[in-house]
Amino acid sequence: MSIFSKIGIILGILIFSGLFFLLGLLLKIQAVLFAVITLIVLSLFYAILCLIQKKYTKTLSRNYVICLIAAGIVIRLFYFTIETDILSDDVYRYYWDGKVQSQGINPYLYAPISDYFKAGIKDAFYEKVNHKEYKTIYPPLSQLFFFLIYSLGGNFFFYLKVLYLICDIICGFVLYKICKKKQHVLLYVLSPLLLVEVYLSMHIDIIGVLFLVCSIYFFKKQKYPLSFIFLGLSVLIKYITFGVFVIYVITLIHPKGSGIKEKPLTIFFSIFLFFMVIALFYAPYLATAGSGVFDQLFFYGNYWEFNSIIHPVISQLAPNVAFMIKACLYLIILGLLSFYKRMRIEHKVRLALLALLLNNGAFYPWYLLVLLPFLVLELTRADILLFFVIQISYIVIVTYKSTGVWEDLWITRAIEYIPFYIVLGYEFIKGHYVQKQENWSHNPGTQ
């Protein structure tokens, strides 16, 4: 790890710690304890990162690894004691969607502010629901989880965290099974981003990440029908993983480009299962809402903007066809990745997800959770840097929550993305994502 990388990471730790110390003060909770816990997590994460970069993790005994995993679980339980919306209030939309469904109402039909809803359904949490003028954007499987958690009664937010903890532990276990260097799983266990965005802000992304990791696991094991089923489930949590479907399909049907030989019937059956899973979960909502299920998705893709650098440029240059330009750009990237032989499936999937995130109009810090498994599977400098610099965008969110002023400055985005694109370009030039010819494999399960 170069001196510049170390300086960048240390600055990231200081910024992250400072923001959460401020958060503790704003919440008027145990500010010092909260800041100390956050600093401990960041320090452990940085220490493991340094050991991995210097290839010293083999010196970590099994007992040390177990202790660090136990520390990660204890810290997760610490976050169970805190309920706050200082960084994000999305969880109240989860609550609202679950409550609406418990009343037999399709959440895709009406925005929370609609006159359709009587005063009786609008409880204390209604006031905290964000963007009440818009219908829900969350996919059907997310909606099912919202409904099931709400139906349990009691503390919706506590039960949601319990569900996240279960998914989190399973995801860590599957990653452990996939990755060759087992100690790298510590980067997942001790990830500050995961702890904050899953257990503090309570974003549902962790469930989609679990399904994606299971999909990659089965793809590498050549169990393609199962892989496509889990990928479909991941898409039903967050749409971002849909691009992985294109990577999978072209990798399977283009043996000269991928080195994989698979029976056409298996490929067809896998694709059928992918769409069947999606159709089954969409059917109940489409029955009453029709195409309205997708209204908010298209609006979000076209007009929603935060912490993006590509979308605002394209929107300024060609506002009427910005969406088409971005879609074409993304499809070109997917095609190039899919047909490129000298790249492992993990890298293809990671770069496909990264391309969509960078191409999207909004890039919130928790969107990076979908890339967290690849920090374990294929550690790259660009990913490390992005995981730290994305924290700068918290400044916009914390400032808005405390002052009511939303200001997404270009200077913060420049600080985030310019170093990242430089490092990403450097890694491509140096061939960090390319396998040597003697390592090419005709079987993704052996890679």
- For the chain, the domains span 3-446
pLDDT grade for 447, boundaries at 50, 70 and 90: very low
pLDDT grade for 301, boundaries at 50, 70 and 90: confident
pLDDT, tens only, 382-393: 888 888 888 788
pLDDT grade for 168, boundaries at 50, 70 and 90: very high
Query: CB within 8 A of 320, min separation 6: which ones?
Result: none
Looking at the predicted structure, is the pLDDT value of residue 166 above 80? yes
Predicted local distance difference test score (pLDDT) of residue 157 = 92
H or E segment and range at residue 331: helix 322-339
pLDDT grade for 87, boundaries at 50, 70 and 90: confident
Phi, psi of 306 (to 5 degrees): -165, 130
d(CA 274, CA 272): 5
Predicted local distance difference test score (pLDDT) of residue 55 = 58
Question: What's the count of helices (H) and strands (E) in the chain, helices before strands?
Answer: 21, 0
**DSSP state at residue 134:** S
Looking at the predicted structure, is the pLDDT value of residue 67 above 80? no
Residue 425 in tokens: 């370009």
pLDDT grade for 216, boundaries at 50, 70 and 90: very high
Residue 324 in tokens: 């088409």
Predicted local distance difference test score (pLDDT) of residue 21 = 54
> Contacts by 120-125 with C-beta closer than 8 Å and gap 24+?
123/99, 125/92, 125/95, 125/96
What secondary structure does DSSP assign to 343-405, as a single string?
Answer: S-HHHHHHHHHHHHHHHSSB--GGGGGGGHHHHHHS--HHHHHHHHHGGGGHHHHHHHHHHS-
Looking at the predicted structure, is the pLDDT value of residue 443 above 90? no
Looking at the predicted structure, is the pLDDT value of residue 267 above 80? yes
Stretch 291-302: mean pLDDT: 81
d(CA 183, CA 186): 6
Query: CB within 8 A of 267, min separation 6: which ones?
Result: 224, 249, 252, 253
Predicted local distance difference test score (pLDDT) of residue 24 = 52
Averaged pLDDT score across all residues of the chain: 81
Looking at the predicted structure, is the pLDDT value of residue 363 above 80? yes
Stretch 391-420: mean pLDDT: 82
Q: At 198, which amino acid appears?
A: V
pLDDT grade for 439, boundaries at 50, 70 and 90: very low
Better-predicted residue by pLDDT, 11 or 62? 62
Looking at the predicted structure, is the pLDDT value of residue 136 above 80? yes
pLDDT, tens only, 323-351: 888 889 988 988 888 877 777 888 889 99
Three-state DSSP class for residue 435: coil
pLDDT, tens only, 419-432: 899 989 988 888 77
Stretch 129-144: mean pLDDT: 92
